[in-house]
Amino acid sequence: MSVLPAEPAERHRAVAGHFSEVVRGTSDWDAPSPVREWVARDVVRHLVEWLPGFLASGSDVRLPAGPSPDEDPVAAWQHHADAVQAVLDDPGTAGQSFMNRHTGEHPLDRAIDRFYTSDVFMHTWDLARASGQEPGLDPQTCTEMLAGMQPLDDVLRASGQYGPKVEVPEDLPAQDRLMAFVGRDPAWRPRG
């Protein structure tokens, strides 16, 4: 993946597009993933299931229901990614706001970028590893995300959304350091 665009709609297009390539390259949806107790299908399930409720709780956006990740994870992901992109491509989105009691008020497109697109970016690593593909995350984005998250270490751990940090040498690539920070072992590979 090359350097990501700065605007939320274009960043989502690039990040979701890269994730879509990894989705299409996945053949065993029951393969274990680096996320404890998740298989490859659960990575897609997580991404398509949490955002609709999150958006509905803080905005007027209602994403349309799509196929189930149990029945067709590829179709489920594509439907969801297209729906999110349609929201971001809508000229009216920039004028809408998103309000959350934990994070405050944000422009809707920036909220999607900050909370969701970054999640897709990081979970690309999980699905790529589960399916034996190279994650290929943009190193600059990895460096920026890590720098932004490190000062929030205690808050992030307390949220329950991140596992304990994995201690790794500082000279590892940015992708490995980011994944170690969020609780993944950068050396994780599927067995066999």
Give all domains of the chain, ordered by start, each with its CATH number: 8-137 (1.20.120.450), 138-183 (no CATH)
Q: Residue 2: is its pLDDT beyond 60?
A: no
Residue-wise pLDDT for 7-51, tens only, equals 999 999 999 999 999 999 999 999 999 998 999 999 999 999 999
What is the DSSP code string of 49-86?
Answer: HHHHHHHHHHSS--PPP---TTT-HHHHHHHHHHHHHH
pLDDT, the chain, mean:
93
Q: Are 110 and 15 in contact (CB under 8 A)?
A: no
Report field, pTM of the whole predicted structure over 0.85: yes
**Can you give the pLDDT at residue 166?**
94
User: Which pLDDT band holds residue 86 (cuts at 50, 70, 90)?
Assistant: very high
d(CA 145, CA 119): 11
> Long-range contacts of range 89-94, CB-CB < 8 Å, 24 or more positions apart?
89/9
In the chain the first and final C-alpha atoms are separated, in Å, by 27
Look at residue 56 and tell me whether its pLDDT is greater than 80.
yes
**Of residues 191 and 139, more confidently modeled:** 139
AA identity, residue 171? D
